[in-house]
């Protein structure tokens, strides 16, 4: 029987998967020819203040994870405490061309038993948007997740009204899993419906090739 154009893509399956838990992700330096990811620390506070001021990205609607310049130090301290407790792994993103801090990103919602994690709380300086640095960062992180940690799935969660971030995740090749309705109460009292996307291990080869092609272009 033929499949109509509107039918959802079939879910990739794996004949067998590892039954043991994956290793606890650790704060390692990760890099490619465009970016270097350094484990987040107090030495990055001043650079991240400049990042959020670049384009005033903390004012972008539906992105409450982006701190204001005044909040950066406290946010970094809280993130470091979470990293030290093994709940998250956070990095400062360094542009290798200029050797300056241009962003922040995190592995969170670690599910070691199910070999799954979320890639989130990412923000990049306004001047980097459209330069490929975000795609280069995602390539480094996804390569680490799938090829070193041997994840079976990497998840992304986005505010339903944050259309720019949703389109960016979709351009990575992530598939929408669903929407968690009335998922979170935002600081301004509005409700966030959270759109959940993921990339599966079976899909990684194609996603990686597409990302590498984008970066070459």
Tell me how many degrees the CA angle 27-29-33 measures, rounded to the nearest 5: 145
Read off the pTM: 0.90
What confidence score (pLDDT) does residue 56 get? 96
What confidence score (pLDDT) does residue 3 get? 42
Q: Would you kindly state where each structural domain of the chain is located, as residue ranges? A: 30-216
Alpha carbons 194 and 212: distance in angstroms, whole number: 28
Q: Which residue is listed with tokens 């419906």?
A: 193
Alpha carbons 105 and 182: distance in angstroms, whole number: 25
3-state secondary structure 34-66: CEEEEECCHHHHHHHHHHHHCCCHHHCCCCCCC
Q: Which residue is listed with tokens 């944050």?
A: 162
pLDDT by residue for the chain (217 residues), tens digit each? 444 444 555 555 555 777 789 999 999 999 999 999 999 999 999 999 999 999 999 998 898 999 999 999 999 999 999 999 999 999 999 999 999 999 999 999 999 999 999 999 999 999 999 999 999 999 999 999 999 999 999 999 999 999 989 999 999 999 999 999 999 998 889 999 999 999 999 999 999 999 999 999 7
What confidence score (pLDDT) does residue 49 get? 98
User: What is the topology classification, in CATH, of domain 30-216?
Assistant: Aminopeptidase (3.40.630)
Alpha carbons 85 and 79: distance in angstroms, whole number: 10
């Amino acid at each position: 029987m033929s499949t109509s154009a509107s039918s959802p893509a079939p879910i990739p399956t794996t004949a067998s998967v590892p039954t043991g838990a994956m290793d606890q992700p650790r704060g390692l330096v990760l890099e490619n020819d465009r970016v270097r990811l350094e484990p987040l620390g107090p030495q990055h506070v001043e650079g991240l203040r400049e990042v959020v001021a670049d384009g005033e990205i903390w004012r972008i609607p539906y992105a409450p994870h982006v701190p204001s310049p005044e909040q950066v130090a406290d946010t970094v301290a809280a993130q470091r405490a979470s990293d030290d407790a093994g709940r998250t792994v956070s990095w400062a993103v360094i542009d290798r061309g200029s050797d300056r801090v241009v962003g922040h990103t995190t592995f969170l919602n670690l599910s070691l038993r199910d070999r799954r994690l979320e890639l989130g709380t990412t923000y990049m300086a306004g001047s980097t948007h459209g330069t490929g640095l975000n795609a280069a960062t995602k390539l480094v992180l996804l390569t680490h997740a799938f090829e070193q940690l041997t994840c079976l799935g990497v998840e992304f969660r986005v505010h339903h009204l944050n259309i720019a971030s949703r389109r960016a995740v979709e351009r990575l090749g992530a598939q929408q899993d669903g929407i968690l309705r009335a998922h979170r109460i935002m600081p301004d009292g509005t409700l966030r419906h959270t759109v959940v996307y993921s990339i599966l291990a079976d899909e990684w080869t194609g996603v990686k090739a597409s990302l590498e092609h984008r970066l070459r272009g």
